[in-house]
Copies of this chain bind each other. A is one copy, B any other.
Amino acid sequence: MSDNIFSKIPEINHSEVMKDVDDQMFDNIVHNRRSVRAYTDEKVPSFVVEKVLDWALLAPNSSNLQCWEFYWVKHPVKKARLIEALFHQPAAKTAQELIVAVAKLDNWKNHSKQMLENFDAQTEKVPTSVRDYYQKLVPVVYNQGPFGIFGPFKRIFMAIAGLFRPIPREPKSIADMRVWAHKSTALACQNIMMGFSAYGYDSCPMEGYDSSRVKQILELGSESEICMVISAGKRAKNGVYGPRIRFPKNQFVKIL
């Protein structure tokens, strides 16, 4: 773990034009977004779905390894099978559009190489520490070995090294890699749902599905996991099941 990578600010000369923002408009988008479980027949224009997917891909994600995929299921037969795998829940069966968000446990291998290729292609200079991160650290840190066999060794090393100084503890198992991939995918999912709200459409995130069947429909292997299914449309009169319930803020927000 080089000091360079984590503790020094590299020489950078990159600036971006900031666009106008509006916190009140964001507040409205947050407030309009409710989980909608029954939709009307009104279609969602394709450009809206395309745009929310663009926004999904602009979400922050772990080491920019983009460990996600999004399946927009339009084909009537596949859609019917997907609705069945979602137990025919109203949020799915009345939906105009269904997007399956998939967490990828394995694409970090190719994506770390693709990051290096992108660095090579760009005109702005990439700090050595950043390049080293993808070339040297990523291949070691994320690799758990076949069936996670490196895990116990990582655990022992961390337990000992961690006595003396702060060290990264994760990912040290396949379970950690699952958490890792789902976390970034969920960040993107929130952009999808907020994106629909920004266009005046509704959405519902669903975790109640037969993941084995959803994976069959999408023809996914063992390194892909269903993160959630997001439905979209316009809310029906009975689409929101009741007033929003949140427990008091002081149960969740702690100031230290």
Chain A interfacial positions (CB closer than 8 Å to B)? 1, 6-16, 18-23, 25-35, 37-38, 51, 53-55, 57-60, 62, 64, 66, 68-75, 78, 84-90, 93-94, 111, 114-115, 118, 122, 124, 126-127, 130, 162, 166-170, 175, 178-180, 182-184, 186-187, 189-191, 193-195, 197-200, 204-205, 207-213, 217-218, 225, 227-228, 237-247, 249, 251-256
Q: Count this chain's copies in the assembly.
A: 2
Choose among B7, B199, B209 the residue that contacts A21 (Cβ–Cβ < 8 A).
B199
Complex CA–CA separation, A114 to B245 (angstroms): 10
A188 to chain B, nearest CB (A): 8
- Whether B191 pairs with A242 at a CB distance below 8 angstroms is no
A8 to chain B, nearest CB (A): 7
Complex CA–CA separation, A213 to B212 (angstroms): 37
- Whether B90 pairs with A227 at a CB distance below 8 angstroms is no
**A27 partner residues in chain B, CB cutoff 8 A:** 51, 55, 198
- Which 4 residue pairs of A and B lie closest in terms of their CB atoms, listed nearest first? A26-B198, A186-B186, A190-B190, A19-B28
Complex CA–CA separation, A191 to B15 (angstroms): 24
Tell me the nearest residue of chain B to A79, going by C-beta.
B256
Complex CA–CA separation, A16 to B27 (angstroms): 15
Complex CA–CA separation, A73 to B158 (angstroms): 26
**A200 partner residues in chain B, CB cutoff 8 A:** 18, 21
- Whether A195 pairs with B245 at a CB distance below 8 angstroms is no
**A193 partner residues in chain B, CB cutoff 8 A:** 60, 187
- Whether A195 pairs with B26 at a CB distance below 8 angstroms is yes
When A32-B19, A210-B168 are in contact, do A130 and B241 touch as well, CB less than 8 Å?
Answer: yes
**A198 partner residues in chain B, CB cutoff 8 A:** 21-23, 25-27
**A68 partner residues in chain B, CB cutoff 8 A:** 252
Tell me the nearest residue of chain B to A209, going by C-beta.
B168
- Whether A16 pairs with B207 at a CB distance below 8 angstroms is no
A189 to chain B, nearest CB (A): 7
Choose among B9, B13, B90 the residue that contacts A90 (Cβ–Cβ < 8 A).
B9
A sample of 30 inter-chain contacts (CB < 8 A) reads A7-B90, A9-B38, A9-B94, A13-B238, A14-B243, A18-B200, A21-B198, A21-B199, A25-B198, A27-B51, A30-B58, A31-B58, A33-B58, A58-B246, A59-B190, A60-B205, A62-B207, A73-B256, A75-B256, A85-B166, A87-B166, A87-B168, A169-B211, A175-B178, A178-B178, A178-B179, A179-B182, A183-B228, A184-B186, A217-B256
